[in-house]
Each structure stands twice: as C-alpha cells, then as structure tokens.
Amino acid sequence: MKEDLGLTLAALGILLALHRPTQRLGLATAVAGCLACLVTVLLVIPAFNADGTPRTPKPPNA
C-alpha cells in the first residue's frame, strides 16, 4: 500500500523544517506530502473503486 507515502514525505518535511536554513523548504515539503496523501485517499483510490468509496478491510469474524 503506497497511499501513505505522502505522510512519510510530510514527516521528512517536518525534519527539514526543524533545521533553520531549510525551514521554508521543509514546510513546503510537509504541506505537499499531506496534500498528496489526501488527494490519493480521497480522489484517486475512490476513482478506481467500483462503488466509488475507499476500500476498508472487513473485520475478522470473532
């Protein structure tokens, strides 16, 4: 599952933002990562699903 890679990019952006010379780049990277994750989960995945909703795993029967 690669749809969470945007969150990884956001985490790297936060780390960059903590370092003073790359603060602006880090914030831009964090925002881009969050937006990429949202677009993937809310638009791309539902577009490829037959019923138009994101797939969620069914809980196992207890």
pTM over the 0.85 mark: no
pLDDT band at 46 (very low <50, low <70, confident <90, very high): confident
Model confidence pLDDT, tens digit, residues 50-62: 776 666 667 777 5
Q: Give the per-residue pLDDT at 37.
A: 92
Q: Determine the Cα–Cα distance for residues 25 and 16; give it in Å rounded to an integer.
A: 7
- Find all residues with CB under 8 Å of 4, minimum gap 6, and list them: 37
Q: What angle do CA 45, 4, 10 make, to 5 degrees?
A: 125
Q: Give the per-residue pLDDT at 42.
A: 87
Instruction: Compute CA 55 distance to the chain's CA centroid, rounded to the nearest angstrom.
Output: 16
